[in-house]
A and B are shown apart, each in its own frame.
Chain A
Amino acid sequence: MDRIFTRDWDKPQGHLLSVYEEAGGYGALKKALSMTREAVMGEVKAGNLRGRGGAGFPAGVKWGFMAKDDGGPRYLCINADEGEPGTFKDRYIMERSPHLMLEGAAITSFAINAHACYIYIRGEFYSAARRVREAIDEAVKAGHLGKNIHGSGFDLDIHVHMGAGAYVCGEESALIESIEGKPGKPRSRPPFPAAVGLFNRPTIVNNVETIAAVPSIIERGGAWYAALGTPGNGGTKLYCVSGHVKKPGIFELPMGTPLREIIFTHAGGMRGAAPLKAVIPGGSSTPVLTPQEIDVKMDFDGLKAVGSMLGSAATVVFDDTACMVRSLARLAHFYAHESCGQCTPCREGTHWMAKIVDRIESGKGRAGDIDLLDDVASSIMGNTICPLGDAAAMPVSGFLKKFRVEFEEHVTTGRCRFPPQALAPVKTDRAWV
């Protein structure tokens, strides 16, 4: 299989410009600069590249929404906030193939005619930010970025902008507020960023992985890219597998690879004798699946069909030593901590949910608690400015739907029968298929 993201990850010094250029790097940028903007966008549309930040919106279509060029500034923001629990792909792209992202950024900026690009990197990713800054310097020196790129007359400056610890800043309008120096509180839409975004100018926000896929599409064509995946879901995907498997890691596989194959073939199956109990397929906010549901194809449409979401393809695997109530409590606290406080249902509801799950886990659950929890979750759904509210509510509804018996058992027995998880790191040679 063609490896798009991970091609250079096993090479020593694979992050350097020289290694990247040796493999043909920045050739796609030169090709794009000789095409029209519409033709570049057309290839990306034909490739069925869908946004890898979680929502799966077709990238080429989004670029097409950019407001008409009035000669004023237009921006590309690359979302490297990588905050969805379970997700660990964008950091690897930035550390191991920074030029792939930069080349994608240059092609995308050309397509939307933006001359400034901000890469919003979460504050904790010091080493990734260092790598990206070094790569920008290399690329500017080599004429791949900066003024009059490869004699095309197209100028582009790329800047790293570090976040400072706030999950909500991964939400695109909060990210924009954050770059502007404000608290990361999402904006109401419309207007969408493509009309009024960063510094009130037309802006496209794309995830790191989305952007890093662009050079391969331009190099080999949209039709080739689309054919790597499933209908409507082009290309390969970085699946992040963590939890109770033998071989956790990042696996680059065709879009739509069955979840069973990802867990049992690529990630080596369960770590020990304890059987599979549950899988969160696409990051903490995506509804949990049972072992009966793992024949699902891991693409945006496949997961939607079983009532979940591909999200950021952060697959968290639980064996039957895991307590589902305790696991949900952990997630509920995360969302309560990360709510920006702007919308009442999310600000209040996330704390109520955390409190009720805690009560059930500690054995003090009351008769109506499970229904109450379900109620609070459905009152948040759809009632907030940004989808953080939904992201907090969906795991609650999902856990209750699939594992209600376990919650009931906690309430009726007044205790949790699961011992704490022992310290059990899984050391493997890092795996990227």
Chain B
Amino acid sequence: MHPPDGTVPEEGMALTFSDKAEAEIKALLPRYPAGEAALIPVLTLAAQEYGALTDDVIDLVSTRLGIPPTRVLATATFYTMLPKKPVGKHHVQVCTNIACSLLGAEHVVEKLERKLGIRRGETTADGLFTLSEVECLGSCGSAPVMMVNETFHENLDEDAIDRVLEECRRG
């Protein structure tokens, strides 16, 4: 597991947060009367830093916030957006809930499976794409919809799906 700046930690050395993440944590803590309330935001930050919440990342968060690792783990495993294993550079999340499915969401997922050569829940061998089927994204008036990382792509048709993948491959 490498820190984001590309340096390789020595064997057996505990992980640390980057200066940027540490600054964000320092800004977070005063917002709450109890440090544990910062746990989900800090886990989110840790996942951004290290790609996934592996055992050593859980330990890092536990040490930083002074919360027992079992409690950190209980929270980390409860939430679907806190990744337990690394996802691809582009995380493609397709909503297949009711409104999207009425307008062909299943077709969207199948097309992406074909184009990416993976099944839902998998990551491409080059690490570029992870394809996930997700619950309602709150964009039902512009169905079908998918998210790639932090961006919504709405009113998906065949061309739009192709275009989004092209953009990911270029960018």
Which residues does A use to contact B, with CB under 8 Å? 73, 82-88, 90-91, 122-127, 157, 159, 161-167, 178-184, 199, 240-244, 248-250, 280, 284, 314, 316, 318, 322, 326-327, 330-331, 334, 337-338, 340, 420-427, 430
Contact = CB atoms under 8 A, between A and B. Distances in A.
Q: Could you say which of A179, A244, A423 has the most chain B C-beta atoms within 10 Å of its C-beta? A: A423
Contacts of B31: 157, 159
Contact of A165 (B36, B71, B80, B101): B80
B82 A164 contact: yes
A166 B155 contact: no
Nearest to A166: B79
Given A126-B150, A166-B79, A427-B155, A248 B141 contact: yes
Nearest to B152: A127
A86 B98 contact: yes
A421 B102 contact: yes
Interface majority SS (helix, strand, loop, mixed), chain A: loop
Q: Could you say which of A85, A327, A331 has the most chain B C-beta atoms within 10 Å of its C-beta? A: A85
Q: Could you say which of B31, B74, B140 has the most chain A C-beta atoms within 10 Å of its C-beta? A: B140
Contact of B78 (A87, A166, A421): A166
Nearest to A164: B79
Interface stretch (B17-25, B104-112, B113-121): B104-112
Contacts of B150: 126-127
B140 A88 contact: yes
A85 B135 CA distance: 8
17 contacts: A84-B136, A86-B99, A87-B140, A124-B138, A164-B79, A182-B36, A199-B32, A240-B140, A243-B140, A244-B103, A248-B141, A316-B102, A326-B101, A340-B78, A423-B157, A425-B155, A426-B103
B15 interface: no
A241 B103 CA distance: 13
Contact of A318 (B41, B75, B102): B102
Interface in B31-77: 31-34, 36-41, 43-44, 67, 71, 74-75
